[in-house]
Amino acid sequence: MTISVVTYRKGGTQDVITAAARKGKAVFQKHGAAAFIASQVLVGPDAGQWAIVIAFANWEAFGDAMQGATNDPMFHEFVAAMDAVSETVSRRILTSLDL
């Protein structure tokens, strides 16, 4: 069962979001994330916002990554970079179904 953290953010140009997201990708890959994806919402009520999706293989991988990241200075640099250019609108944690 894949665990995904989906965060929507408002603000920031493509260049600054890309630079900040690259820091996040490096941090979460280092701590075992299966994927780190940054996307811009094109259509719907959230159009223009950024969606950051971080996927983990299971709850254990999610927990290990969260524990490791919170103690990693690079994680705090990533969060500071994102917060400097955009505002968190929402965050959700999803579990996928194994079909």
Q: Mean pLDDT for the chain?
A: 95
Which domains does the chain show, CATH number per domain? Answer: 3-95 (3.30.70.100)
Q: How do the pLDDT tens digits run along the chain, 99 residues long?
A: 899 999 999 999 999 999 999 999 999 999 999 999 999 999 999 999 999 999 999 999 999 999 999 999 999 999 999 999 999 999 999 999 988
- What residues contact residue 70 under an 8 Å CB cut-off, 6+ apart? none
Taking alpha carbons only, the member of 59, 81, 44, 68 closest to residue 4 is: 59
pTM over 0.85, yes/no: yes
Report how far residue 99's alpha carbon sits from residue 97's, in angstroms, rounded to the nearest whole number: 6
